[in-house]
Amino acid sequence: MSSLGLYLPGHSPLHRMRAGTKLLFMLLAGAGSVFLDHPWQVAAALAVVLAGYGVAGLPWRTPLRQAKPLIWILGFVAVFHVLVSGWERAFVFVGVILSLVLLAALVTLTTRTTDMIDAVVRALRPTRLLGVNPERVGLLLSLGIRSVPVVVGLAEEVRDAQRARGLTASPRAFAVPLIVRSLRHADALGDALVARGADD
Amino acid sequence: MPLIEVDGVTHAYGEGANRRVVLEDVTATLTEQRIGVIGANGSGKSTFVRLLNGLVLPSEGTVRVDGLDTRKDGRAVRRRVGFCFTDPDAQIVMPTVAEDVAFGLRRTGMTKQEVAARVASTLATYGLAGHADHPAHLLSGGQKQLLALCSVLVTEPDLLVLDEPTTLLDLRNAAAVKRVVADLPLQVLLVTHHLDLLDGFDRVLVFDEARVVYDGAPDEAVRFYQDLMASVP
């Protein structure tokens, strides 16, 4: 449904699992990934993550779609490591990155954004003592996620306008209107947040 | 119906040589259920309606909603006054439809189950029940505007202010928004360039060059506005 890896509704055990548990597991998996040193370990980690997609009842194409934006980066890393340190190191590096990205995507695909943000807000409660407002951090995360498709849409409109006017690819002609429109959007969003009581 | 009192309001941006007056000595008492606001671009109508929930505080004069001063009681006023913007993309703050509607119910003391029930019933009322878990950015323009309306109406405001809600919509979606607005049981203040949306309204204010230049029944107000625009070279 979404190229951003947003929530896909379902009733699988992964969908029902608490958001905090999933985030904690993801954190531990990220920390533990530094100990993966052999291709078979990485292959096993990848297999576990892909099995997670199966448990979640997601279509088999979903992990492919999640990995697609990384193809160029992974390809570059793979070629570099094959040339410098051999195919085994290349497999370990690429496999670890791919496993972690697919795991993060699996968590976001099976967790409502609000549940995830609630979990982050709960985890940040102790930071109140340091003057941090966890609800503000949660709102910031929501707005960040929400703003990605908006800015992508603005970028597409700017590019279309450039093409319509026969302009060739010019970084400046692309960046200036995109920044101006993004700032205008941020201004309007600020008004909407006030109107919707975000500051109350 | 809430009592809206705008008393001697002047509003300007900038200072000195850069001072630009966008509203000048506007006074109005609004009690009707359906109030329209029309005028050319830059005539001051959007600033006028932004005064009503404290988004804009007047440089001079006072604005009261049910006796609450927007300057002193901004939060209480905003709880009574729902505001719907022209561009729904600027108003939708959460990634999915249901989450965005639920956003306005934070800190209301409702339980998760109560929030979910209220959100589901609001989405069903406005034909978005099947989209609850959909990413908001994948909705059509008309659905986004309906979502923006749902997100405001779920908080059950006493007054709904709509600032050109159909400007970005095609005829079908504009008609859908018109139907929704016509059926609302609350007080509605609508800014629009689509004059047919004012059918059945009780009162229309016409703005021109920062002032209210006509205030009366919709038919006469629309005629006055059309004559005014025709007279501009």
Please indicate whether, in this complex, the C-beta atoms of B90 and A7 are within 8 angstroms of each other: no
Prediction ipTM score:
0.81
Please indicate whether, in this complex, the C-beta atoms of B90 and A189 are within 8 angstroms of each other: yes
Residues in chain B with pLDDT < 70?
none
Percent of chain B with pLDDT strictly greater than 90: 63
User: How far from chain centre, in Å, is Cα B130?
Assistant: 26
Which DSSP category does B96 fall into? B
| DSSP-derived pairing of the beta strands B159-163 and B187-191 | parallel
B93 vs A contacts (CB less than 8 Å): 139, 142-143, 146, 189, 192-193, 196, 198
Query: Residue A4: what pLDDT?
Result: 53
As averages over each run of 10 residues, the pLDDT of chain A (200 residues) reads 63 93 93 92 95 92 87 91 91 94 92 86 91 88 84 88 77 88 90 82
- Our CA angle for B152, B156, B161, nearest 5°, is 50
Q: Write out pLDDT tens, residues B182-197.
A: 889 999 999 999 999 9
List the single best residue of B65, B138, B189 to mutate versus A (max A Cβ within 10 A): B138
Chain A nearest C-alpha distance from B93 (Å): 6
Please indicate whether, in this complex, the C-beta atoms of A149 and B135 are within 8 angstroms of each other: yes
Distance linking the first and last C-alpha atoms of chain A: 34
Strands (E), chain A: none
Dihedral angle sign, alpha carbons of residues B165, B169, B170, B176: negative
Nearest-Å Rg of the Cα atoms of chain A is 20
Average pLDDT over chain B, rounded to whole? 91
Read off the tokens for A88.
Answer: 């085994």
Distance, in Å, from the CA atom of B50 to the CA atom of A62, rounded to the nearest integer, reads 45
Chain B residue with CA closest to A145: the answer is: B95
Read off the tokens for B212.
Answer: 């209210």
Query: Residue A3: what pLDDT?
Result: 45
Using the Cβ of B167 and the Cβ atoms of chain A, whether some distance falls under 8 Å is answered with no
- What is the SS3 string spanning B173-187? HHHHHHHHHHHCCCE
Query: Residue A2: what pLDDT?
Result: 44
Dihedral angle sign, alpha carbons of residues A40, A27, B112, B94: negative
CB B76 within 8 A of CB B68: yes
